Homo-oligomer: A and B are copies of this chain.
Amino acid sequence: MSQVYAARRERLRERCSAGGSATALVSRPANVRYLAGAVPRGAVLLLGMGEDVLLCAGPPDEQGGDGRPDQALRLQTLPAPGGDCAVAAADLAAAQGADSLAVEEHHLTVARHRALRSVAPRLRLADLGSAVEQLRLVKDEEEISLLRIGAEIADQALSELLESILVGRTERHLALELERRLVDHGADGPAFTTSVATGPNAGRRGHCPTDRRVEEGDFLSVCLGAAYRGYRCEIGRTFVIGTSPADWQIELYDLVFAAQRAGRQALAPGAACRDVDRAARQMLDSAGYGEGLPPVTGHGVGLEIDEDPQLAPAAMGKLDACVPVTVEPGVHLPGRGGVRIDDTLVVRPEADGGPELLTITTKELLAL
């Protein structure tokens, strides 16, 4: 694995040099992890003159975070507790003789940026922009295999829940049980706060579980994901509680299912992100649900649960092969509830069989 991290850093270094900076400071935790293999709490990565250094606030194994740092990196621990590793990194870059340092202006606060300037006044601070996020977009097969395992874990946790009695249990309890099952099956933990939404809450994107209990006749929508060795996937399904769904429930479900399928089918290398969004969105729109739809119908996943690309009406850019994304349209009717269906897929060329579905739980409307 060490070669993988070294190759990633080398690609970043090339981008920096092209931008006129010989050194770079990576502070955003997921970016540090991507380039260093681990991110102890508060750690930053310096791509320095001649050597790369992972600066940690304390001994790495006492700073939390999972994974071991790449052994090819020099580790440097701050002498005094409570210090800022980014400031120490700027100091080190200046001591190495660098004249400019590219920093992540979308992550560093104004106050930290000023502290960097003050510790190394002769160092020109440039903007690294989202160079690391761009490197992270296309995943290698090792990363995809970790996402695949995470998706299997989420599928298992969900399928076990469906075998249990649901009526009378609260959203909060169901969410906690799902999270326990994720860990039972080997997840590091949930990839994000598990969402369980019943009755009038069903179908709301990112709904925070409440004390509402599952009732006969409810829609029940669930969204969960596993973090597995740092990689995060997502699955969302909607069910009906009781033996016979109402007509409006069947109609709404069929509509969202068709929209989600259209979005999935639009995934291909070279497809514009906005076209994938439009494929799903226009079906909901032409059925009269255009108002109040969430701003995105899908997004990238990886070391973070919400990465680029965004599948949204104003999104720029096209999909590449080996980019994992969610497709997750939904409709929520205030006071009545709604439907969301959410899969994680990997964009693959037609010749390889088209998009690879990672979350394989059935999307038939189950009456539980």
Q: Report if A3 contacts B (CB, 8 A).
A: no
Q: Report if A1 contacts B (CB, 8 A).
A: no
* Residue pair A295, B81 in contact (C-beta under 8 Å): yes
Contact of A113 among B62, B110, B172, B310 (CB under 8 A): B110
Q: Which residue of B lies closest to A293 (CB)?
A: B81
* Residue pair B105, A107 in contact (C-beta under 8 Å): no
Tell me the minimal C-beta distance from A38 to chain B in angstroms: 12
Instruction: State the CA gap A64–B114 with chains docked (Å).
Output: 33
Copies of this subunit: 2
Tell me the minimal C-beta distance from A224 to chain B in angstroms: 14
Q: Report if A312 contacts B (CB, 8 A).
A: yes
Residues on B with C-beta less than 8 A from A296 are 82
Instruction: State the CA gap A64–B332 with chains docked (Å).
Output: 15
Instruction: State the CA gap A258–B172 with chains docked (Å).
Output: 40
* Residue pair A82, B295 in contact (C-beta under 8 Å): yes
Residues on B with C-beta less than 8 A from A180 are 173, 176, 180
> Which A307-334 residues have C-beta < 8 A from chain B?
310, 312, 314, 332
Residues on B with C-beta less than 8 A from A172 are 183
Mark contacts of A108-121 with chain B using CB atoms, 8 A cut-off: 1 yes-contact digit, 0 otherwise. Answer: 11111110000000
Residues on B with C-beta less than 8 A from A58 are 295
Q: Report if A356 contacts B (CB, 8 A).
A: no
Tell me the minimal C-beta distance from A264 to chain B in angstroms: 22
Mark contacts of A231-272 with chain B using CB atoms, 8 A cut-off: 1 yes-contact digit, 0 otherwise. Answer: 000000000000000000000000000000000000000000
Count of interface residues, chain A, beta-carbon cutoff 8 Å? 38
* Residue pair A294, B105 in contact (C-beta under 8 Å): no
Tell me the minimal C-beta distance from A291 to chain B in angstroms: 11
Which residue, A110, A180, A312, A332, has most C-beta atoms of chain B within 10 A? Answer: A110
Q: A64-B206, A180-B180, A183-B172 are in contact. Are A312 and B82 (CB under 8 A)?
A: yes
Q: Which residue of B lies closest to A57 (CB)?
A: B295
Q: Report if A72 contacts B (CB, 8 A).
A: no
Instruction: State the CA gap A65–B208 with chains docked (Å).
Output: 8
Tell me the minimal C-beta distance from A129 to chain B in angstroms: 9
Q: Report if A70 contacts B (CB, 8 A).
A: no
Q: Report if A343 contacts B (CB, 8 A).
A: no
Q: Which residue of B lies closest to A210 (CB)?
A: B66
> Which A199-250 residues have C-beta < 8 A from chain B?
204-208
Q: Which residue of B lies closest to A310 (CB)?
A: B82
Q: Report if A179 contacts B (CB, 8 A).
A: yes
Instruction: State the CA gap A64–B172 with chains docked (Å).
Output: 14
Residues on B with C-beta less than 8 A from A111 are 105-106, 127
27 A-B pairs, CB-CB below 8 angstroms? Answer: A58-B295, A62-B332, A64-B206, A64-B207, A64-B208, A65-B208, A66-B208, A81-B312, A82-B295, A82-B296, A82-B310, A82-B314, A103-B110, A105-B109, A105-B110, A106-B109, A106-B110, A107-B109, A108-B109, A108-B110, A110-B113, A110-B127, A172-B183, A173-B183, A176-B176, A176-B180, A176-B183
